A and B are shown apart, each in its own frame.
Chain A
Amino acid sequence: MDAHLICDAERRYPGGATIEARFEVPLDGFSVTVLFGPSGSGKTTVLRLLAGLERVDQGRIRAGGEAWSDAAQNIHLGPQARNLGFLSQDYDLFPHLSVYANLGYGLGDLEASARQARTEELLELLDLRGLGERRPAELSGGQRQRVALGRALARRPRLLLLDEPFTALDRPAQLRLRRELRELLRGLALPTVLVTHDRDEALHLGDRIVVLDQGRVCQSGDIQRAFDRPTDPAVARILGVETVVRGRVEGVAEGLATVAVGPARIFAADPGGLGQQAFVCIRGEDVAVERQGVAPSGSTARNRLPGTITTLHAEGALVRLSLDCGFPLECLVTRQACQDLGLVEGDAVTAILKAAAVHLIPHD
């Protein structure tokens, strides 16, 4: 309990919108918790609540046993008292100060020599050597981000909050810096909360995830589990599980459930607690496609669904196929595979799907 940040708070806006945040963040050693959700889901507000930049209207936020915000007891620690590092989306570097001065801004309590030493250390750590005397306006986007990060780390905070740190950068920079960031944070053993709406980024950087939708936390916990097993269709949709359809549970036997979706019949692993109806969640990556007419030669895949390709959409190195197997089914295959099979719109194909990859969410 002591080594955790527990957030159990609400923020209400005059227009009627409410943000409810209930989740935990470990505070011992390195971990990255991702606040994930579509735009407007309240991720930034939650981050600002953690930072103390917004007040809690109901509930509380406790960190390591210390009350940071408590609506009932009228406690609100400002950001100054929380010893955290905060990196906003715009970086907010002080335009009238040099890189050197920006980095050392929060170090006013230190002696001049200590401040200088720490600033040098940061310049080194974030690969900013030689840029000390420049003004923020003279730096590139990536350099500015590193200065902002360095500035946030200067005071050795016990928690780092990052608001979409890579959004302002171009794609190659994003990919490169993601890797560098995770290594840096691991090296500093710093617990971090990161806001993003990019699924790949979440998967790359996060150990834990908090999924937000329309101001509510829908799911929180280990990241892989969340992606593999979303607790409800909204989460599944947000996490980018491509196919989410309703089905009627026909029967369950030996851990295998049979679900009727339209005219099709799908076998799925029994999650337990199934009633009459369920949502069937299938990730596009888990669907393989064969030309119809090929004789099945025995495989572990329990589902073979005949259908046709309704649309075909190239996405970089992959191709997204929209299939009609009696219900709409999304499928992602490599472009190479698509070309090899000579797949075009209108082709009759068979979708092959493992039962273990079909995720059922009971929904009566």
Chain B
Amino acid sequence: MDWQAVRLSVQLASLTTLVLLGLALPLAYWLAFTQRRWKFLVEAVVAMPLVLPPTVLGFYLLMALGPRSPLGWLWERAFGHTLPFSFEGLLLASVLYSLPFMVQPLASAFAGVERGLIEASWCLGESRFRTFVRVIVPLSWGGILTGLVLSFAHTLGEFGVVLMVGGNLPGRTRTVSIAIYDQVQAMDYGPAARTAALLLGVSFLVLTLTYALRRSQRKPWTLI
């Protein structure tokens, strides 16, 4: 069992989820409440990682972040190493790749909050921001939980993007899914099977907990 890879994957997944939460809260709020007519364009862009093959995303990221690109060049000057083939590069790739898994449940939950409640809060003197914090977020906890769990699980299972952007460096970018791949290639089936079983168990546990917690919500099949 490659514990280093497991730790790395857990770290990547948890950091990705945190970063995504920060990014997705304002984005999902905008998507849920804006009246702009070009909202559908943003929705499509957000949903792209759902249908894009991971290798395509990985390819473009490699081009956009490599040492020959402006961003990659800046990064290298600042930190001494390239953005691809680093944990930070993986983090960036994972955030982009798991974006819809956080944004969509959040936006759906926000939009589901009854407008009357939001307006009541405004009439009681609360700003849009405070209304968001005191009314919208508490009433959207189901969607937030779904977003957190899905993003975490999705990042944990990532393979194609990690392979393209990561470089399979042990301890730095060899996530647990890459480790399984490596073990199989090395015909080390025992550890591979054990690692795979661990992932399976964790995923099942996490999903069961989430479904159990959401039992009180009456909508049955909302994405998760």
Do these two chains really belong together in a complex? yes
Number of A-B contacts (CB under 8 A): 54
The answer to whether B117 touches A79, judged by C-beta atoms less than 8 angstroms apart, is no
Interface size on A, residues (CB 8 A): 23
Compute how far the CA of A151 lies from the CA of B117 in the bound complex, rounded to whole angstroms. 13
Residues on B with beta carbons closer than 8 Å to the beta carbon of A108:
125-126, 130
Q: Are B121 and A78 in contact (CB under 8 A)?
A: no
Residue of B at shortest CB range from A84? B123
Q: How far is the CA of A90 from the CA of B115 in the complex (A)?
A: 11
Bound complex: CA A106 to CA B119 (Å): 13
The listed residue (A53, A95, A105, A151) touching B119 by CB distance below 8 A is A53
A92 lies within 8 A of B125 (CB) = no
Q: Does A85 contact B (CB under 8 A)?
A: yes
B119 adjacent to A92 (CB under 8 Å): yes
CB proximity of A270 to chain B, nearest CB, Å: 48
Grouping DSSP codes into helix (H, G, I), strand (E, B) and loop, the A interface class, with mixed when no group exceeds half, is loop
- The CA of A96 and the CA of B130, in the complex, are separated in Å by 16
A-side contacts of B116, CB under 8 Å: 88, 90, 92
- List chain B residues, Cβ under 8 A from A90: 116
Instruction: Report B113-133 residues with CB < 8 Å from chain A CB.
Output: 114, 116-117, 119-127, 130
The reply to whether the CB of B135 lies closer than 8 angstroms to some CB of chain A is: yes
Known: A92-B117, A94-B117. A79 touches B138 (CB 8 A): no
Contact with A along B59-102 (1 / 0, CB 8 A): 00000000000000000000000000000000000000000000
Give chain A interface residues in 79-105, CB to chain B under 8 Å: 79-80, 83-86, 88, 90, 92, 94-96, 105
- What separation, in Å, do the CA atoms of A86 and B123 have in the docked complex? 6
Q: Is the CB of B120 within 8 A of A155?
A: no
Given the contacts A88-B116, A92-B116, A105 and B121 also touching, CB distance less than 8 Å: yes
Minimum-distance CB pairs A-B, first 9: A106-B124, A86-B123, A92-B116, A92-B120, A79-B123, A79-B122, A106-B125, A96-B138, A80-B125
5 more A-B residue pairs beyond the given contacts A80-B127, A86-B119, A96-B139, with a C-beta to C-beta distance below 8 A: A80-B126, A105-B124, A151-B124, A152-B123, A152-B124
- The interface of chain A, by Cβ under 8 A from chain B, is 51, 53, 78-80, 83-86, 88, 90, 92, 94-96, 105-106, 108-109, 151-152, 154-155
